[in-house]
Structure 1
Amino acid sequence: MKADTEPASPLVHADFAFLQRFSSTRRGARLARRLALHQLDAWGIAYGSEASEAAALVVAELAANAVTHGHVPGRDFELRLLLRAGADTFRIEVSDTRGDRRPERRRPAADGGVEEGGLGLLLVDTLASEWGVRDRQVGKTVWAVLA
């Protein structure tokens, strides 16, 4: 799937949602990861499970990107988790207020080495069944769907 298209995902109409804003700092990014895991555990996705560990990595990467590349002084970033009852997937969304810097899909270099930058999104691409970016009125949202 192209990174700039929105999937026809039933998770957009979730039964359970968590939404929280965080300061656009490294501390805010760490707190986003911790609260995401706490909320997922409350929804039945147990701490330490494969899904919880994948979510921790994805939230950490997307929050770090929001703080590092999407930071606008005085503006927060937002974490949103969506879960549909009985579904085998859940959705993570991280929104920032800087729409001019869009993440790009990266692949390992042809020689087997690794290009600089964008490696975290390679991790997201590996862990998520689908991910992408959508514009907001102010900024952008990077989303990922995990099993």
Structure 2
Amino acid sequence: MNHASPQLSAPTRSFTQLLSSTRRGARLARLLGVTELRSWGAPPHLTERAEAVVAELAANAVFHGRVPGRCFRLTLVLDASSGRLRVEVSDARGDLHPQIATGAAGADALRLGGRGLTLVTALADHWDCVPYPPSGKTVRAVLSAPAAEA
């Protein structure tokens, strides 16, 4: 009567929230994301990186993806067993796709904007942009915790 009991893997957690396409909405996305990750017990290093990624993607949704009267959506999906976090920010502007700013050092070097996706590239394992029906887009970034933290 000795039966092997199945091993339960850590659950996949998810969080989705619609937020106003305002600076306040972008700030709230960052705060809600961090609060949710901490409540799930996500590793601190992963939470810190995710905070910056959420902040950048939410700011981009507000400043570049805003359509008057339309919100943006933040989604977090944490697979605790693999230590992988997917951050998704969807907005209503499917006609504008994110691009990493490139340019020679010079006059552009002193610009205040245009470096957000470079930061996302540095912090995330990878990111991409996919259509979000009917007319929007979703920017997704995947972050992994080091094996020792997962």
TM-score by length of 1: 0.81
- Does the residue aligned with 2:75 lie in a helix, a strand or coil? strand
> Structure 1: which 5+ runs fail to align?
1-13
How far 1:15 moved relative to its partner?
A: 2.0
Partner of 1:94: 89
How far 1:114 moved relative to its partner?
A: 3.8
| Kept in 1: contact 2:125–2:142 (CA 8 A) | yes
Aligned with 1:118 (options 108, 111, 114): 114
The alignment covers a number of residue pairs equal to: 131
Partner of 1:79: 74
How far 1:118 moved relative to its partner?
A: 2.6
Q: Equivalent residues in 2 for 1:32-43 (5 A)?
A: 32-43=29-40
Partner of 1:133: 129
- Does the residue aligned with 1:62 lie in a helix, a strand or coil? helix
> Structure 2: which 5+ runs fail to align?
1-10, 145-150
Partner of 2:141: 144
| Kept in 2: contact 1:75–1:97 (CA 8 A) | yes
| Kept in 2: contact 1:107–1:122 (CA 8 A) | no
Q: What percent of counterpart residues are identical?
A: 51
How far 1:106 moved relative to its partner?
A: 3.3
Measure, in 1, the Cα distance between the counterparts of 2:95 and 2:139: 13
List structure 1 runs of 4+ shifted beyond 2 angstroms: 105-111, 113-118
Partner of 1:16: 13
* Backbone CA RMSD of aligned residues: 1.9
Measure, in 1, the Cα distance between the counterparts of 2:81 and 2:114: 33
How far 1:61 moved relative to its partner?
A: 0.5
Aligned with 1:45 (options 37, 42, 46): 42
Partner of 2:25: 28
